[in-house]
Every structure is written in structure tokens, then in C-alpha cells.
Chains A and B, each alone.
Chain A
């Protein structure tokens, strides 16, 4: 059991980092609590694997501290950190049987053979590997190999956290959900902190209780899948999460709200007041395609859009619209009637979010979300 605290952590691969762009991880503070199941979600190259390797000790951070249960572990090598890591490509010892693979970390610690036997069988049972124990590990399928990699972490009774680095990349799609469910079961059974790196939002939200979204070397939001969906803290989160992502439109201030082109969008008075206090002109509004309201006929509140294209995805449809030259996406139910040429839409107030300098402006908490 361990709480992993990353304290003003930053990392750069260059020797003399000067520019913020030299940093793979920009300064951050983050806590992974005891026994949680977390996902670290972000696009390729955003620094998620770097962050994972810093936690496991394969990399040593340029700045800041890594604390396990309040104790600094910066200088403790991975082998002494009570941590296990599962890599993108399954790592197995091909010349050994499945049993010997699972027993390997225990035997390296000179565990008595009786204990090795019982522990390996227990873990093999949990991972449904019992029937394979006597087989050579090299002939197994990718998902079985990945289970062995995980099993080597689980057999050690001193392991308090398992870090997964995109573990399902090489697994067949139909086996992915099975293995993901297994991971979840294992998490409940062993009560171990698990951090799961992925670029797949579906994987992240099915596995994790809370997701940390990383972008440009920073964790831009840490929350439940629902929070990420409904109130993205950063325009990137809105764009990255959801299928399709959030509609983001650059706007200017105007009386009683904001406008783009000739289109004026009304905002709550508190929001208008708040916006007036902020100096930056980089303002965007965001609304999820699911939350845009579509009217059947013209309406005083509705904006009139041109219908460009309809994507039928089987269970739902996506309308691609243009409003004053701005492209918008609207997600509607499969059986909903599609109007011809002109579509009338409005933005329900509770789902319309405002971003300044890419961060969410929240009227309920004064100034929160506005990055200095």
C-alpha cells in the first residue's frame, strides 16, 4: 500500500534545460492515493511514459521529489521501490515455464520454495493461468504473456503499486475488454494502487476511478470520467475526451455575452462580469456535440446553420454544420429526424463552457481555472 506523491516534479531529457519547451514534464504536484485505480491519459509524446518511469525509478527526475508514503525515494533504484511495472510489449523470460516466470522475482529475493509454490499458485489462480503453469512461456499468446508480466508484479507481497504502460497495445481487440476486466478484478482483490497509462479514453474510463489527463508535460485535469466529460478543465480535455470531441469556438466579448462573426451568444451575467475582469483576449466557448439542442423549426433563440454532412455511426449520427463559417458537430440519436439543408440549434446554458487561455472559467469559484 502506498501513496505516491509527486512534489514539484519536473523532468527534462536535455542536459541544460533553459526553455520550458525543453521539459518533458513541467513542474507539477500530484498525489496518487492508497489503493486507487488511476489512468494517465494523453496523446503520444505528452510525457505520460516519462512520468511513469519516474515513479518506478527507471528515470530520475531533474527537479522535485517523488515521495512514497511521505518518504523520498528519488535515489532509491526501481528494484528497491516495492513497485512493479508492466510494459507496452509483454516482457517474459522465454526460456522458462510460466511457473518459473512467476516465481522469478520471488526466487531472486531468496524466498523459501514452499512459499514460492503457494504464492505462485495463488496468483496464477487469480489470473486464470493455472492450466498454463507447466508450459513454456514463449509459446503463449500476447494476452497471456501480458498476464504473466502482471503476475510477476503481483506475486511479490511487498508490491504496493503496479504501473501499466499502455499494456493492451499488442492485444487483440476482442481480448482487450476481457483483460481490462481482469485488471479491475485484480485491483479489487489485491487492493493495490494501480496507475494505467493510455492514450485511449475508453480504456481509461473503464479501468480507472479517476483519470489524470496529461497535455504538454502537465496534468491538466484530474477527475472522474464524468467530470472530465461534463466540465473539462482545459480546452484540450474537452477536445480529447468524447467522441467526437467538444466544439470549441474562438469568440470576442460583446454586450451580454460573446460573439463570433455575426453570431452573438448570451452568457450569464456573472460570467460576463468575470470575463470583463480578465485581461486576456484568448476566449473560447465550448459545448459538447451531445449537449447542443436541435429545434425542429425556426425559433427566436435558435441559430440557423447549414448542414454539410451527416455521419451515421450505427447507434448515433453526427451532423457536421457550419454557423458563420465555423464548423460545429452535433450528436443526435439514430432515430431522430434530420432536417434538410438548414438546422436550428441552440446552446443550453448549463452545458456552455467558457475558456480563457485554454483553461475553464468557473463562476462558482472566483478566478479558479484561470492560469496565471
Chain B
């Protein structure tokens, strides 16, 4: 067969190229451009090289919220993954109750972020909120607006309430894909329910859990709306996570240069963590 050389084919790639350029390349390059300049006003700016990056990496503000961010994301994963699996295991496999439980579990996922924040903001108030008031009524001194520990607890609880369903639904679909013969064989092999979970269910949930962990890590690492509505980052800076610190810097104080450097570092961290996670999982698969 004669190979046809036709450079017109490049035109077919053009729409995709334009789309990617406008959605990713241009915005990112704009940020890169900002991050190497000190901008005073529209007409006055100086090239400062890596200055902002150096400053940001030394800034206690960024480092503190970064630490906070990591501890938040890890706590979220630590609670939501086992809880999601447990919920999925408890959901009925078939019948009317299966549909009912699916709908119930899916509800939190359908609620917009700021509404979730508002719900918990009201629900947890010590004076009028059912949850906050009840805690105080039984003698627990609870106030998320003044106590950093309580604020953390509430933000975590809100995230668990909002997102455990995602893990549960993913695991539920994974569990339903396990053929009945596996359970039958396990019964004949006299496996305990723990052994069934450990050696049949968990290994077969691995692929959905990889997606689940990745999604929950990225999402929780970029969390903004819910704590913003609930605590506004306070008390003090105790629940100010990365994205909120960034927004304050960029929009509140108009420090465009440092904020640009900050957001690129932020972006690289998310990329790096996801890359490491995937590489480790793939290496494990290959090692078999």
C-alpha cells in the first residue's frame, strides 16, 4: 500500500489544539508570567525571576496552610475510605431496599458545596443549631466559632458527611461485580467473613479504591467553599486551607506575583502526589 502524505491532516488536530490552548496553556502561562514579576499597577512591573518562589517557600503562611492541608486530606482519606467500604458492605445487594439505600446514600453528593457549608453552619451552631445545641445540652463544651479543635472537627465531619457516599457508591459497584462463585467457593473453603473480606472483596475493590483515593485526595486538597462558608478559615487561621490562603493573597491583598508563584507550587504538589500515588500502584502491579 502506498503511504499517503497529506499535510492537510494537521488541520484536523487544530480544533483540539486551540481548545487545549485556551483552556490550559494560555491560563497557565499567564500565571507563570505573573509569578516572575513584581506588579505595581497596569503599567508598572518588574521582572524578579525566582524571587517570589523563594519567598513563598519560606513563607510561614504557605507552609502552615500546607501542613494543615496535608493533615486535613489525610484525615479525610483515613476516615472516608474505611467508612465508605463499611457502608458499601452493609448496603443490601438486591430488592427494593437496594434502590432505596442507593438513593439515600447518593443524596449528599447532589447538594451544592455552598449549601453543604450553610447546612452545617446552621446545624452546628451552639445557640440555635440542633447538633451544636445538643452537644452543649449533654454537657460537652462545643463551639466551632471560637475553639479551633471544634472547628476542625466540624469541617472534617462535614466533609465525611458530604463525600463518604462517593466511596460507598464506588465500592458498592465494585462489590456487585464479584461473581457469586467466589462466595460459594469461599464457603466451601470454610473461609470466615473476615477472610472473605480480606481475600476476596478487598482485592477486587482495589481498582475502584485507587480511583476513590485519588478523587478524594485531589478534591479535599483543593477544598474551598465548604470551610469558607462554615468557618471562614477561622478561628484565627486554624481552618485556613491552601486554596483559601491563596484566594486571600490574590484577591484580598492583590499580591498577584506571590499568589501566582504560590498557585504554581500548589499545582505542582497536587501533580506530584498523584503521580507518586499512581507510580507506586503501578509498580506494585508489575511486581506481581
Contact = CB atoms under 8 A, between A and B. Distances in A.
Interface of A: 56, 58, 77-79, 83-85, 87-89, 91, 93-96, 104-105, 108-109, 136, 138-139, 149, 152-153
Contacts of A105: 189-190
Nearest to B198: A95
Contacts of B182: 91
A84 B187 CA distance: 10
Given A94-B203, A108-B189, A108-B192, A138 B184 contact: no
Given A91-B181, A139-B288, A79 B187 contact: yes
Contact of B184 (A85, A109, A136): A85
Nearest to B203: A95
Nearest to A153: B188
Q: Do most interface residues of chain A lie in helix, strand or loop, or is the interface mixed?
A: mixed
B67 to A, nearest CB: 35
B200 A79 contact: no
Nearest to A137: B288
A123 to B, nearest CB: 14
A346 to B, nearest CB: 51
Contacts of A104: 189, 191, 195, 199
Q: Which of B184, B185, B187, B192 has the most CB of A within 10 A?
A: B185
B179 interface: yes
Nearest to A83: B188
Q: Give the 4 A-B CB pairs with smallest separation, nearest first.
A: A91-B185, A95-B203, A87-B181, A105-B189
Contacts of B192: 108
A87 B184 contact: yes
Interface string B191-217: 110010001101110000000000000
In the complex, which range does the number of interface residues on chain B fall in? Answer: 10 to 19
Interface string B270-288: 0000000000000000001
Contact of A78 (B179, B181, B184, B204): B184
Contacts of A87: 181, 184-185
A326 B145 CA distance: 93
B190 A96 contact: no
A136 B288 contact: yes
A137 to B, nearest CB: 10
Contacts of A153: 188
Given A58-B184, A138-B288, A139-B288, A89 B179 contact: yes
A56 B189 CA distance: 12
Interface in B85-140: none
25 contacts: A56-B188, A58-B184, A58-B187, A77-B187, A78-B187, A78-B188, A79-B187, A79-B189, A79-B190, A84-B188, A87-B181, A87-B184, A88-B181, A89-B179, A91-B184, A91-B185, A93-B199, A94-B203, A95-B199, A95-B203, A104-B189, A104-B195, A108-B191, A109-B190, A138-B288
Contacts of B202: 95
Contacts of B181: 87-89, 91
A108 B188 contact: no
Contacts of B195: 104, 108
A83 B202 CA distance: 26
A114 to B, nearest CB: 20
Contacts of A109: 190
A56 B182 CA distance: 15
A177 to B, nearest CB: 24
Given A88-B181, A108-B195, A139-B288, A93 B187 contact: no
A160 to B, nearest CB: 13
A105 B185 CA distance: 10
Contacts of A136: 288
Contacts of A138: 288
A152 B203 contact: no
Contacts of A78: 184, 187-188
Contact of A79 (B188, B204, B288): B188
Contacts of A84: 188
A206 B185 CA distance: 26
Nearest to A165: B181
Nearest to B179: A89
Nearest to A105: B189
A164 to B, nearest CB: 13
